Each structure stands twice: as structure tokens, then as C-alpha cells.
Amino acid sequence: MSTAGFNSQNGTGQGQAYANGPSQNPVALQQLPGVSYGMTHQPNYSPMQAKAPAPPGPGLYPSGPYQPVPPVSSYQPVPPVSSYQPVPPVSSYQPGPPLTSYPASPGQPLLTRPPMGGLPSHTPPQSASPSPGPRLPPAQATPPPPSVSSSSYYQNPQQPQPMAPSWQYNTAPPPMGPPASMSTPPRGPVANHVNPAVSSTAPPPPSSAVYTSAPPAHVSHSATQPPGPRMPPTSAHGYTQPGTVPPPMNPMAPHTYQPSRAPYGPPPTGPPPTMKATPPPTGPPMGNATPPPPKAVAGLPQPGPPGRHLGHYPSLPPGYQNTSTPHNTTSPMHPAMQAATQPYTQAPQPYQQPPGGPGPAQLSPSLAAMSLQSSTPEALRVVNLLQERNLLPPRPIPAPTPCLPQDLQKINCNPEVFRSTLTSIPQTQSLLNKAKMPLGLLLHPFKDLSQLPVVTSSTIVRCRSCRTYINPFVSFLDQRRWKCNLCYRVNDVPEEFMYNPVSRSYGEPHKRPEVQNATIEFIAPSEYMLRPPQPAVYLFVLDVSHNAVETGYLNVFCQSLLDNINALPGDSRTKVGFITFDSTIHFYNLQEGLSQPQMLIVSDIEDIFLPTPDSLLVNLNECKELVQDLLKSLPTLFEKTMETQSALGSALQAAFKLLSPTGGRMSVFQTQLPNLGVGALQSREDPNQRASAKDIQHLSPATDFYKKLALDCSGQQVAVDLFLLSSQYCDLASLGCISRYSAGSVYYYPSYHHQHNPAQVECFQKDLKRYITRKIGFEAVMRIRCTKGLSIHTFHGNFFVRSTDLLSLPNVNPDAGFAVQMSIEENLDDMQVVSFQAALLYTSSKGERRIRVHTLCLPVVNSLSDIFAGADVQAISGLLACMAVDRSVTASLSDARDAMTNAAIDSLTSYRQSVLTIQQPGLLAPACLRLFPLFILALLKQKSFRTGTSTRLDDRVFAMCQLKYQPLAYAMLMIHPSLYRIDDLTDEGALNISERTIPQPILLQLSVEKLSREAAFLMDAGTVMYLWIGRNCNPNFLSQVLGVPSYASVPDNLFMLPELDTAESQRTRAFIGWLRDQRPFFPSLRVIRDESQWKASFMQNMIEDRTESALSYYEFLLHLQQQISK
Amino acid sequence: MTSLTMIARVADGLPLAASIQEDEQSGRDLQHYQSQAKQLCRKLNAQSPDRCTLEAGDMNFHYIIAQGVCYLFLCEASFPKKMAFAYLEDIHSEFYDQYGRRVPTVTRPYSFIEFDTYIQKTKKSYVDSRARRNLGSINTELQDVQRIMVANIEEVLQRGEALSALDTKASNLSSLSKKYRSDAKYLNTRSAYAKVAAVAVFFITLIIYLRFWWL
């Protein structure tokens, strides 16, 4: 087992994991290649720069040599293509350009083409000079100015300086050139060609706009404007006062995308009903539609037009509409667009047409502007975090929608399955470095799906060079050829693929289910099998030492298995086996024909052997009675045991021997520190140091025995799931390796006891039930591919990296999540979109070999503000958490904490310096990142990373395991719990799911300030729920929901709501049940009062409040601001 | 004892069921044999002898073909041949009873993998030396195993390759001859042109000569 594999999995993360060195030390940051996000590839640029340093501006696009003919000509004449592709007129999107530009040797363009606008050209100073580029806007500004005169850029000489003032990117005025080009390449001829089409076809699909882009749009308008003064769209929201009468910019554009986007739900136009609006002294209560500090307005020559936000805010000051009407003179110019946008815009106000503006080319420019704006309005709205308090949306945050054409987006992969931290992929690594945000993917590949198309065919169509599975984002050149969207190779369409089994028609390869679904499952032909599919094999390894018997878990385990034995996934070949161990190993002969199970004891734990290899793993169907007998007698068998030692290592070796011929799943139940034989461990925790220790020791394994064994298991397709039920320190950091590298899962029930801790018992029971009955895939491998130019360098989750991009997963279960970090190795210059494909090959419990393929498509952008607009704050936080776990194991916890804080500082600094032009005071963040500091703070206070409070080492390590292993949706709850008020649940806005009414209370901020003594609150922290009852809680709630007459009589150890026949009780239980149904594990409920023992852990989740050792949210923001303005 | 049993459809070599038993002590690389077995199943066709033993080093492949299904058994060379064929017959009769009708319709590989259970049990009764004695009566009834063809696995697997090599050689030859033909044509025309050109030059010189010297 190559250690190299490990390095790629874990080791390498160390350097690159964190983008950010301490901000005080920018020198180091820039000079160490490893410090930035992912890998820096600045060296890559230098050759380019050397070759063509001069004309920076136009370089962004496949300019010059590329532009002229191809897109239109090559594209148009091909009818079949257009039928597949979304929007025929939009030739610049889709295969058109790549078609022509690509075949002409991909390498060549890089050389012949001038380098990227401002970005690369300032790279050398950046890397060379001690000060980091992003912090020095002027430095970056100097080179590009010439770019503005980009006559070569557009073929149309009439628009000589079209791109100069790009309002979008109000980064320092001079570098206008590069930012202007941010949208997708304006190909001169294309644009011209498109125009007529646009004007004639009624509402052009907004989607198309995104891609046709062509900056000329705003460009043409803005040509008359002094460069720079443009109000950044982001800040526009502030200026709602009609009096300012700004020249509104292309108004309609922003709204076209709204319906599909809905980035964060309805923008909080006002304080949510029950929230206390706490207006900051300086400004009006809610930032959105209200003016920010007036001085900012004054300071601006041309305050941004409010127009673009009109669509968002239903209620507009009348002045708005007034201001807009005068500009309607220009509306004839964009009839189509208006038509398209009107549904969303209340006040259609086209951009004020500058006199003498370029005539015919206008439409396409405005189209482009539309696309620009559409991607940005809500996500890029500037939020002053210090002033706006109620940032938390009232409902859980949905994943941001990538800014793709609608028809692509419609078929794109579900964000719950496949999600990227940046929904707009930067074009170059240097741009990514500038944005200071991690680029990565979060996957939940084996998620239980309600609807999954399954395809059976003898040949699975894949790209011949990169082996990508055919997917909705490939392009069909004609009926017989398709172009891979990852490597751009042109492949033949096989004969069988011409027939569409769904519509039973021939000759429509683009209608096949493979090309219609981003998530699909294939039944694999025999080429995908190295051996016949293995049967489902389950082996249970049970600790039966004195300690284990004391906890009483055996009863629960045996009962659960007995109850669900028929629900074990499998077919008639399913095999089961049992091993128990204390200081010796006990096997159970369950062979058919025996009258009762036979126990075989092996006391030689140094050299373990199998007493009867044939009859220990038996066919479940044939020996069900014996198995049931055994399960019934097992709990009593060891009742009187006095054996306290535990030889876990030997038991694991024995189990491995038993399973290695077939592979399968090994479930290990352990209740104490293994202290005998191989793999024995010592206690490494000093409880007295927990709270005071500055740095947490012993986060890494004490021995590599478990890791080595796990690798052997992985090689034999055995996965080990660990159930740890213990009140003592168990060294999960060491034991966890057995699951981590064999793709198992870890369950931890601290202080489990059958009598003293009924909540844990219930939790264990429910988890076991799910564990036993959930779907399972055996002998699986997963490969993640991405478009040429991107590369994956670090993986997070439980697996073994067999080769650079192949994850070996002996078992895969529906509750496992994965994350990967990516870097951009080659510039993605001539691409509009990139794709990612995760393919999971597994054997189902029925012995079928299947391949589940997920494909995600994301747009490529080349401006910082677009990157920020596409940031997915949850995914970023999730990925940062994974990176921080690695960091705390390889370096130290304080390093990891610093790195997380720096991640927030750096990205906000970058935003402030590169995207914003007006330097307002305060801590500014784009709306899409407005929760970023909160999530970072939550991570710092999370069990995994907190300091200063007494946290048991095992608890901490388990929390870390979960952060890495849980799919994002569940991990987010563990990072930032949800708080609801539930004593006044109503049916208003309730969901209706299968005839149950589920009330939907709003999310509250995690602050004690939100609690009130008169109410009851539910905190959903992922694995546990707290029901907090105020001292003066409504007696109605107490009696109707809890079934107790008064506050004093609420029992201390209540962990279940009584099933009362009242409306309130039903509502509450429906709500809690609904929350529980959303996740695969079972969160136990704890009803707490002021004096409960759990109150402390409840209060620890009040993230926004100050604790003895940690900052409050506001203090944290101040800290960030201080760092940023340094 | 290491063994491998495989059932496949003869028409297209689609594996229908299989059972593998690896022996820790022998430590043989079954992977290799498995791929050989798969290749073999693909090579077999209706014309193949319906009973055959193929030698592959110290292991033997025994197979029978019946009703379009091939039953293949890999075992050590020391394992009695007649026992192996009795075992295959046994498997065949049971498999045909259970799944015979569905064989032509399935498309998924290893559709009848559940038959594995029966295979394992049967194999145990044949391999187990104590149980073997009980089967003695069956063995005597078995037809004369001496007549069963014996061949080498490599030969069988490479037979097709030799043919295809021949095929490529022949097609190479034909393309070469075509090329020769066109080349020859080209040469012929060239030489014809050369002759014509030579004659023309001669006459032109003659005319010029006549014109300048004689006039």
C-alpha cells in the first residue's frame, strides 16, 4: 500500500490546504507556492507573459486569430446540433467556438494569443514583489490601461473603446479593460449575427443571454460615461432614494434570471415578522431597499442606478418608476428584451441611451449586459455586516444556482448530490488565488434518490480518450459524432446509441436518457467486473467484555438485528457471521444441520487462525434459525463474564481473514480501549488539561496498526464500520483509522448505558435500524473527472486513494459524503463551461454491477466579481471545515483555527479591494457571502475546533470525523444549528407532505437574545435536538405538548414528546419528525430547563454570543474588520 | 482446493453464473485464470466440441456445452477427470431445470448469480473425499471419458488469433498488390509520356535545324 497514496489523500493537503497564510505576512503568502488555495501556477503564466506582454486587454478572449469566421459559419449550418443545443441563435455559446478554436491545437492559442487582460500581466509583480497583488490595486492597474484601446478586440471598428468602463467591476478605474471582458467572449461576427435574430425573435431566452454575453453591451452605453464612476451594481441597492436619479443602467437584465436563481430566497426586504429588528444607529433598519449612510451617496459622482434591483423588491418607491420612464425613449432598442424581462421588472427602464451610441451592435451588447447583471444582482449586493444584523434567512439556505443557460441548468446535477464551492469557475489559477476562496466539490454520490433512471445496454458510451461517460453536456457535432465535454475529443456515436428506447425512435441520439439526465445509473456489462459480483456478506464483531456487558448494548443490538434480519439488503446468497471477543476470540459455527450454534474459542490471540473456515460465514437464508437462536442467546451468554480485557486487534485480524475471500462489511462494536494483543492502545488523554491546554495533542493515531489493517481490508473489498459505545476514553483517533481507510463509517455513543442514558439507547436503536436496512454497495470504486485544465489534488472523506483519481470504496453507503479540492492547471480561456463527472461503480446487494454517474456543469468566468457572485457559502464552509480537520491533524489545532479565520479575512479583503470601488466604512461582504463570517465563527466554536472549553478528545475527534464524512447538508447543521421557536407553531406557510401538515417556523439567530422565558425553542444541531423551555413558558404549551401541568414538573430526563391528542402536540411532533426524516441518522431529543445538565451544551451552540473563551459574533466581525483594514 | 466454476451463454459468451473458491495456501492467481475462462467462453461457439478438457499449466479447464450453455470448471490437474465431468453434468441438469428457459432472454451479466449457492454445495459434495465414495456408482455409469478431447488452453485461445493474423496478412497482401498495380500503371504512363516527349524534342530540333540551316 503505497504511502504515496496517502500523501495524495492527506499529506499534500497540508501545504495547499489553506490558502491563506496569516494576513500579516503577505510576503510568505505570495512566495510560498503552497500557501495559496490549491496550487499556484503562477510559473505557468510567465512564459506567456514573456511572449506577449504588450497587449493585455484583448487577450482574454480568443481574440485576433480566432475570432473571425468560425462560430457563425461552423455553427449555423448544422441543424441537428441546434436541436440539441439550447439556443440556436446564440452561437457563441456552446460548441461553436470551441469547435473552431480547439482543433487548432489547444496549445497554440495560448502562445499566439496575448495573455489575459490585467490578470496575468500583473502576476509577475505579484509573485515577485513582496506585497500581494490583490492588496495593491494600483499595481494591478498599471499594466492594463492600454488594453482599453482594443480596436483589435472587436472586429467592428466602430466600437473602438467599448469596454473601457465596465460598471460591473468597479475595481480601480484603470484596469477597466480586463474586467470588462469578464463576461464571455464577445466574438465580433457573432454578435453582429445575433443581433437581428434577437430583435426578430420575441423574448430571447434569457439563458442565451448569459452566454452571448459580449461585454459590448454595457460597453456601448458606458462609452459615454467617465470610466469608473459607475456605481457598482453591488452597492446599488443602497440608493433607493428617487431623488438621486442616477442614470439607471440596463435595467431589465438583472431580472431575467431571477426566477431560476432565487439565490437566497426572497431578499429580506424587511425584518422577518417575529424577529426584532434591531436597527443600527447609523442606518435604517434593513439594508436592502434602504439608503446606506448618505455620505457614501454624496461621495459618488454617479450613484448607482437602483434599476437593477427593482425586480427584487416588490414594493417600490414611486419615485423609481418615475425616474425610469424618461429613459423609455430607448426602449424600442430592446423590445425583445423588455418583453423578456417585463414579467420580473416592475419598472422597465432601459439604459439611458447615450446619443450617437453605436447602432446595430446594441442589441447584443445589451444582451450581454443582461447576462452580466442577471448573474449578480442579489448575490453581489453589498452588505455591511457590522450594520445589518438579521442576515440569517428565515428558511434554510438553498444552494446557489450556477449562472447557466436555463436549459442546461434544468438538467444539471442536483446540488444535494454534487455541489461546487464556486458555482462560477475562475478562468485562471491566478484569478482563483486572487479571490482567496477554496475551489472544490462536495459530493453525496450514493444518496438515496427517489427517482433514478437506470439504463441497460450492452455498450456504455464513453469518450475513447478520457473515458468520460456520455452526459447531457456533451455536444453532438452531427448524428454520428459527439464531442466529449471533458477532453474535447470527437467520438463516434455507436450504432446502438442511435436507437432511443424511451421514445422507441431511431436517429435521435440526443434524446437518449443518458443525454437527458445528469444523474443516471448504468447496469454494467461484464467488462466492468474483475470477478463475479460478490454476495452481500455481513460480519458482526462484538465486544463482550465485562465493560460491554455493563453497558447492555448487546441486548439492543441482538434485538435490532432480529427485528430487521429480513430487511438486510441481499439476495439468496447473503452471508452472515458473528465473532465476539474479550481477551479471547469466539467464533460461532452456524452450519446448516446443527441443532444449535456452536461456539469455538480461540485463545491464541498472537497468531490468529480460523477454526473452521467454511461454517463461520453462513448463508443467511439457509441458516436463519441458527442465526436467530444465536441472537437470542448471545446477550445472556456473557452475563456473568469477569473478563475486562479487550483484544480488538486480534478480533479484527480474525474477521479480516474470514471476510477476505469474498469481501463484505464488518461491523465492529467496541466499548473500551483495546488493551491486549496487537493494536493495544494506551490512554493518551489528560482530562485536567482539556480546557486549559493551548493546543490539543493526540489528534493523530497512536499506532499505524489500524491503518495498515484497513488498507489490507480495502484491498480485499472489506469495509469496517465502527460503533463505539463507551464512557471512557477510547482513542478514536487511532481506532477511527480502521474505518477511515476502508471506507467504513464511525458511530459514537459517548457514555452509553442501557439504564442511565435512555436517549442514547434510542439513538443507537434507530441508527442501528437504519444501518442494517440501508442500501449498500460492495466492491465500489469512484472516479471524479473534470474538464481538461482543472485537476483534483486532495480528497476528503472515508476511502483509500488507489491511484491519482480513483477512490477505492470497499463499501459505499447512502450516508457518505465526499469532498475534493481542485486547482486550475491550465487556463480555461476558450471555455464557457466546465464539467465534472463522478462515476461510482459498485455491486448492489442483489449482485448487480452498476455504475452511477453524476455530471455537473458550471460556467467559467474571468472576473472577480463573477466569482464572488457565484460563491456558495455553505459549500465553502464545508470544504474549509474538511481542510481544517486535515490541518489540525497534520499541523495543530491553532493553525487550523488561524487558517479558518484567515480564510474569511482574505476573501473579504479580496472582495473589498478588487471588487468594490467605493470604500465604504464597515465590514463589507457580498450578499452571497454574508453568512461566511458567521459560519467561520461557528466552526471555531464547533466541537472539533473549539478551545478553552472542556471537550473530550474522543468527542472532538468524532466531530472531526463527521465534518469530513457527513454530506454537506448534515454537516452544516453540526456547524450552525438551527433554532426555532416552537411554542407558537401555526399552520401558516406549512408544508403538506403525504397528508401531514408540517409547520415551518422561521430560523432564529443563535443568540440568547432570541430566547425568551415565555417561549419554548427547538435547536436542531444535527445529531441532537434540544427543546429548551423557558421558565415562564406558556402553560398551554406545557400541558398540550409536554403533558405536564407546570414548568416545575417537566421531568429532567425527558427525551421523547408524549403523543398527546392535541393540535399543538401534533404540530410539534410533525415538525420534529419532519426534521428527523430529512437525515439518515437519528437525532435524539433533549428537553431542557434552566437547571438541566444539558443546558451547557445547549448554550455552547449559541454561536453569536460571547463565551469565556470565544468572541461574540460582533466582536468577531470587528476583529475581521480590523484585520482587513490593516 | 482452488476452483472456479462458470456458466456462460455460448452464443455471445455472456457469463450467467459463477462461483469461486480461493485457497489461501495455494495462493494461486485466480485473476489470471478468470480472464482466461472469460476469453474461453467468448471463443466457444456452436462448432466447438461439446466436451473438452483444456490444460493450463497445473490446472485443467473442463467444460461441457449443452443447450447453448457452457459449463466450465477449473480445478487442479490432479482432480479426477470423470469426477469433474460428473460434477458438470450435475450442475447442468440443475441449472437447466431452474433457469433453462430464461437463458436466451437475459442481457445482464451474471443474471443467475444466485445459482452460486447450489454450485458451492454441489462442489463440496464432489470435492470432499469422504462424500466422493458415495458417488462411485454414478461414476461408473458415466460414458467413457477417454474419448474426451484434450487440448491446450493457449492453443484454443490463440486459434482465433492465428486466423485473424492470417486475415490481416492476406488483406495486407491484397492492398500491396493493389498498390503495385497502380504504381505499375503510373510507371507505364510515365514512360509513354517520356517516349512521346523524346520524339517531340527530336522533331522540334529537326525543324529548327532545318529552318536555320537550310533556309
Picking from A523, A526, A572, the nearest residue to B114 by CB comes out as: A572
What pLDDT is attached to residue A348? 35
From CA A866, how far away is CA A35, in angstroms rounded? 24
End-to-end CA distance of chain A: 48
A849 to B31: CB separation less than 8 angstroms, yes or no: no
Cα–Cα distance for residue pair A598/A616, rounded to 1 Å: 10
pTM of the model: 0.69
Q: What are the chain B neighbours of A524 within 8 Å (beta carbons)? A: 109
Query: Closest Cα partner for A224 from A333, A351, A336, A364?
Result: A351
Question: Who's near A424: CB < 8 A, 6+ residues apart?
Answer: A375, A402, A403, A858, A859, A860, A861, A866, A867, A869, A870
Instruction: Using a CB–CB cutoff of 8 Å, tell me whether B128 touches chain A.
Output: no
Please give the Cα distance from A701 to A738 (Å, whole number).
Answer: 11
Helix (H, G, I), strand (E, B) or coil at A782: strand
On the 0-12 / 13-18 / 19+ scale of CB atoms within 10 A, A612 is exposed
Which segments in chain A show pLDDT lower than 70? Answer: 1-377, 690-694
The pLDDT value recorded for residue A509 is: 82
Three cell numbers at A561? 438485528
More confident residue, B147 or A892: A892
Spatial contact of A74 and A196, defined as CB atoms under 8 Å apart: no
pLDDT band at B162 (very low <50, low <70, confident <90, very high): confident
Tell me which chain A residues have a C-beta less than 8 angstroms from the C-beta of B110. Answer: 526, 529, 532-533, 847-849
A576 - beta bridge partners?
A: A538, A618
Residue numbers in B near A456 (CB within 8 A): 107-108
Q: Is the ipTM above a cut-off of 0.85? A: no
Taking residues B70-87, report their average pLDDT. Answer: 86
Q: Which of B20, B22, B113 sits opposite A573 (nearest CB)?
A: B113
Burial class (CB in 10 A: 0-12, 13-18, 19+), A921: middle
Distance in angstroms (rounded) separating the CA atoms of residues A988 and A219: 47
Cβ count near A595 (within 10 Å): 8
Q: How many CB atoms lie within 10 A of CB A568?
A: 16
pLDDT score for A214: 37
Would you say A373 and A308 are in contact if contact means Cβ atoms under 8 Å apart?
yes
Nearest by Cα to A811 from A666, A654, A652: A666
Best B114, B118, B128 member to test A by mutation, with max A CBs in 10 Å, is: B114
C-alpha–C-alpha distance, residues A535 and A620, integer Å = 11
- Nearest CA to A790 out of A835, A836, A824, A828 is that of A824
What distance, in Å, lies between the first and last C-alpha atoms of chain B?
110
Q: CB-based contact (8 Å) between B106 and chain A?
A: no
Chain A residues touching residue B19 (CB < 8 angstroms): 532
Task: Calculate the CA A782 to chain-centre distance.
Answer: 18
Of residues A147 and B16, the one with the higher pLDDT is B16
CB < 8 Å & 24+ apart, contacts of B134-138: B135/B83, B135/B86, B138/B86
Q: Is the CB of residue B38 less than 8 Å away from at least one CB of chain A?
A: yes
Chain A residue with the nearest C-alpha to that of B113: A847
Residue with cell 431560476: A260
Alpha helices in A425-504 (DSSP H): 429-435
- At position A487, the amino acid (one-letter code) is C
Which residues, 6+ apart, have CB-to-CB distance to A346 below 8 Å? Answer: A310, A311, A314, A316, A320, A321
Q: Looking at chain A, how many residues does it have?
A: 1126
In angstroms, the CA B25 to CA B5 distance is 19
Query: What are the cell numbers at A681?
Result: 492502545
- Bridge-based pairing of strands A575-581 and A618-619 is antiparallel
Strand pairing report for A537-543 and A519-523: unpaired
3-state DSSP of A902-938? HHHHHHHHHHHHHHCCCCCCCCEEEHHHCCHHHHHHH
Nearest in space to B118 (alpha carbons), one of B91, B158, B84, B96? B91
One-letter amino acid at A91 equals: S
- A-chain residue closest to B34, CA distance: A531
pLDDT tens readout for residues A1010-1069: 888 888 899 998 888 999 988 888 888 888 888 888 888 888 777 888 888 888 888 888
- From the list A543, A762, A777, the residue with the least C-alpha distance to A674 is A543
- Average pLDDT over chain B reads 83
Contact (Cβ atoms closer than 8 angstroms) between residue A909 and residue A135: yes
- The rounded distance, in Å, linking the Cα atoms of A848 and A764 is 31
Helices A873-890 and A893-910, packing angle to 10 deg: 150
- In 3D space, the residue among A365, A386, A426 whose CA is nearest the CA of residue A292 turns out to be A386
SS3 state at B8: strand
Copy the grid coordinates of residue B173: 497482401
Q: Which long-range contacts (CB under 8 A, 24 or more apart) does A612-617 make?
A: A612/A587, A613/A658, A615/A589, A615/A590, A615/A591, A616/A577, A616/A579, A616/A587, A616/A588, A616/A589, A616/A590, A616/A658, A617/A537, A617/A539, A617/A575, A617/A576, A617/A577, A617/A658, A617/A659, A617/A662
Distance of alpha carbon A751 from alpha carbon A686, whole angstroms = 18
In chain A, residues 606-635 whose CB comes closer than 8 Å to chain B? 619, 622
Q: Where are the beta strands (DSSP E) in A342-480?
A: 382-384, 418-420, 425-426, 440-443, 454-456, 475-478
Residue in B6, B21, B107 closest to A458 by CB:
B107
pLDDT tens-digit profile of B83-141?
Answer: 888 888 889 999 999 888 888 888 888 889 889 888 988 888 887 766 555 555 555 55
B76 touches chain A (CB under 8 A): no
Q: CA-CA distance, A108 to A97, in Å (whole number)?
A: 15
A712 and A655 Cβ atoms separated by less than 8 Å: no
> How many interchain CB pairs under 8 A, A with B?
53
Nearest by CB: A529 against B24, B109, B117 = B109
Render A48-108 in DSSP notation, one character per residue: HHHH--S--GGGGSS-TTTSSSHHHHHHTT-HHHHHHSS-TT-TTSTTHHHHHHTTS-THH
Q: What is the pLDDT of residue A693?
A: 64
Residue ranges in A661-793 assigned as alpha helix (H): 705-715, 732-740, 758-773
CA A529 → CA A81, A395, A779, distances in Å?
A: 35, 46, 10
CA separation for the pair A598, A605 (Å, rounded): 20
Q: In terms of residues, how long is chain B? A: 215
Q: Which of B108, B119, B127, B128 to mutate to test the interface with A (most CBs of A within 10 A)?
A: B108
C-alpha cell at A218: 454595457
